[in-house]
């Protein structure tokens, strides 16, 4: 198993600092938040991308994924959304990242209409992503927070360049057991995104293992060969503890969960 964390936990930090912290604490990669306020985003120049990739790989880690904000199930015209997807895929390819994260964003649309939007757009974007060696991952989030809802879309898309990002918080909030989430996502799964919170009503991020999320069960339901990515959402909760002081313990906690799963599987 390989480990990464999201730069969402280090808002505004230079990329070299994020990469250095990852290497120092035994993480293999970074999930880069692709927003204009961050060091790298779809508007970044070729030179900025080249320099950013050098900073990450120079620290001995890699870019796991580009966390974009495209909402593939949202109402509206397809053209701008497809252009946004292409820009995110191009950024990921330039950073040698295997994945791009997108949201559903179906809002108040009827589920059938939201599904149709997502299926149509993901099918359209898939060949370009496949050509560049990138996989677009639909996160279990907002209008499609359970694995069941996400898999409903992905089963229809049925393309290897499109898969799922399993956010364990949202499937839990959706009332779905981890074993069911893992079963429904199956081969669609790109990687598992972990985090921890105190309760469904208190979502301020905590150190891994300090809250109520079923992390052990989620790790047990994920493939043994893959990525676990810690998304510590300090960008949205500035009063949360600094991620830097939690990284070592978080990595150790994930290792213990993986080792426990390995023993149980033997």
pLDDT value of position 17: 98
Phi, psi of 165 (to 5 degrees): -110, 120
Query: How does 145-181 read in b/e, with b if 16+ C-beta sit within 10 Å?
Result: bbbbbbbbbbeebebebbbbbbbbbbbbbbebebeeb
- 166 to each of 43, 49, 93, 96, how far by Cα in Å? 27, 27, 22, 21
Helix (H) or strand (E) holding 29: strand 29-33
Give this prediction's pTM: 0.97
Nearest to 25 by CA among 191, 204, 254: 254
Cα(179)–Cα(149) distance, rounded to whole angstroms? Answer: 15
Q: Is 61 exposed, middle or buried (0-12, 13-18, 19+ CB in 10 A)?
A: buried
Long-range contacts of 16-20 (CB under 8 A, 24+ apart): 16/55, 16/59, 19/55, 19/56, 19/58, 19/59, 19/61, 20/59
CA atoms within a 13 Å half-sphere pointing along the CA-CB vector of 259: 6
Q: What is the pLDDT of residue 261?
A: 75
Strands 99-103, 29-33: pairing is unpaired
Distance CA 234, CA 136 (A): 25
The whole-angstrom separation of Cα 74 and Cα 104 is 7
Q: Which of the 8 DSSP states describes residue 9?
A: G
Name residues whose C-beta falls within 8 Å of residue 123's C-beta, 6 or more positions apart in sequence.
157, 159, 162
pLDDT at residue 264, as a whole number:
64
Domains of the chain: 2-265 (3.20.20.150)
Which residues on adjacent β-strands are paired with residue 162?
A: 136
- Contacts of residue 222, defined as CB under 8 A and 6 or more positions apart, other chains included, come to 166, 182, 189, 192, 228
Three-state SS for 241? Answer: coil
The pLDDT profile of the chain, 266 residues, written as one tens digit per residue, is 999 999 999 998 999 999 999 999 999 999 999 999 999 999 999 999 999 999 999 999 999 999 999 999 999 999 999 999 999 999 999 999 999 999 999 999 999 999 999 999 999 999 999 999 999 999 999 999 999 999 999 999 999 999 999 999 999 999 999 999 999 999 999 999 999 999 999 999 999 999 999 999 999 999 988 999 999 999 999 999 999 999 999 999 999 999 987 766 55
């Amino acid at each position: 198993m390989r480990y990464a964390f999201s730069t969402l936990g280090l808002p505004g930090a230079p990329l070299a600092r994020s990469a250095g912290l990852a290497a120092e604490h035994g993480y293999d990669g970074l999930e880069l938040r692709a927003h204009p306020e961050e060091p790298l985003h779809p508007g970044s120049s070729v030179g900025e991308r080249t320099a950013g990739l050098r900073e990450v790989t120079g620290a001995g880690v890699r870019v796991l994924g580009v966390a974009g904000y495209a909402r593939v199930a949202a109402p509206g015209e397809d053209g701008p959304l497809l252009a946004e997807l292409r820009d995110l895929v191009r950024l990921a390819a330039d950073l040698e990242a295997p994945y791009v994260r997108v949201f559903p964003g179906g809002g108040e649309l009827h589920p059938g209409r939201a599904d149709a939007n997502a299926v149509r757009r993901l099918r359209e974007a898939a060949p370009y992503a496949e050509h560049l060696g990138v996989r677009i991952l639909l996160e279990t989030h907002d209008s499609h927070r359970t694995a069941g809802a996400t898999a409903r879309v992905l089963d229809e898309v049925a393309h290897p360049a499109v898969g799922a990002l399993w956010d364990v918080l949202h499937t839990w909030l959706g009332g779905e057991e981890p074993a069911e989430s893992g079963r429904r996502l199956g081969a669609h799964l790109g990687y598992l995104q972990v985090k921890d919170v105190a309760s469904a009503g208190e979502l301020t991020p905590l150190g891994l293992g300090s809250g109520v999320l079923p992390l052990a069960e989620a790790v047990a339901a994920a493939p043994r060969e893959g990525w676990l990515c810690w998304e510590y959402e300090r960008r949205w909760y500035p009063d949360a503890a600094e991620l830097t002081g939690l990284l070592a313990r978080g990595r150790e906690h994930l290792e213990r969960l993986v080792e426990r799963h390995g023993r149980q599987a033997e």
